[in-house]
Amino acid sequence: MREADRATIFDCAISIVTIACEQCDAFVEMCDYLDERATIARRISSYEANADEEYSNLGFYFLENKLMGDPDAVNLFNIVTSLEAITDSFEELANSLVRYNINESGKSLCDCAAALYGASQKMHDLILAIRDKAPVSLIIRDITALDKYKSRYCKFYDEAILELFTDYDKDDAIDIIRSKAVYDAFKDVFESFEKLSERCYRYIMSLD
């Protein structure tokens, strides 16, 4: 892989990371202004469409430059694939608030949104560190920090789901369905962050 190829891949990666962070910012805004959730969800979807275009362009670049046979290039492409998947999961999360008519922002929703914001910032730091060839120890530190967001959310998720299905009234069934759907959508985003961490780790360990 030429240095110019590496630069092109990271240009795409940074573009998609920036889009994901914009989606996260918009989602945090949505949690503060749920009356505008449909409008903000459409904005988040438009960001995702931009990420799709960036990703498609990179795919064409790989084909034109015959990079699919280069292991290092493919490992970087897999990282970009994970980044694009994160933008998909953000879009689905935003749409879940519209789909299930979430019109009240409780503490748990705000706390989950804040955790997503922290994870997004750490994702940004991680991709920059890999691009800039930071010491491996620092990159591993960022990977570990990103993974912790998912671990903490999974603990919260288990407690929240248990609470939903404990001492509930049959009249609360709709609220239970809504809440679980949104918790699941949050979980999907954190799992997409975890997938990114795994691919970043695999790439770093493959380097000489």
- Contacts of residue 2, defined as CB under 8 A and 6 or more positions apart, other chains included, come to none
Residue-wise pLDDT for 12-23, tens only, equals 999 999 999 999
Supply the pLDDT for residue 98.
Answer: 97
- 87 pLDDT more than 80: yes
Q: Which two tokens stand for residue 165?
A: 């299905």
**Which is it for the CA torsion 7, 10, 12, 18, positive or negative?**
negative
- Contacts of residue 100, defined as CB under 8 A and 6 or more positions apart, other chains included, come to 177, 178, 181, 182
191 CB-contact burial (10 Å; exposed 0-12 / middle 13-18 / buried 19+): middle
- Contacts of residue 73, defined as CB under 8 A and 6 or more positions apart, other chains included, come to 1, 5, 6, 9, 62, 67
- 10 pLDDT more than 90: yes
Residue-wise pLDDT for 132-171, tens only, equals 999 999 999 999 999 999 999 999 999 988 988 887 776 5
Between 71-85, 110-124, 157-171, the lowest mean confidence (pLDDT) is in 157-171
pTM of the predicted model as reported, rounded to 2 decimal places: 0.94
Supply the pLDDT for residue 170.
Answer: 61
- 105 pLDDT more than 90: no
Supply the pLDDT for residue 176.
Answer: 87
Q: Which of 95, 114, 80 is nearest to 43 (CA)?
A: 95
Q: Which two tokens stand for residue 78?
A: 């897999």
Supply the pLDDT for residue 165.
Answer: 83
Average pLDDT over residues 58-77: 95
Question: What is the CATH T-level fold of the domain 3-206, as seen in this structure?
Answer: Methane Monooxygenase Hydroxylase; Chain G, domain 1 (1.20.58)
Other C-beta atoms lying within 10 Å of the C-beta of residue 113: 19
Q: Cα dihedral angle (181, 185, 187, 192), rounded to 10 degrees?
A: 160
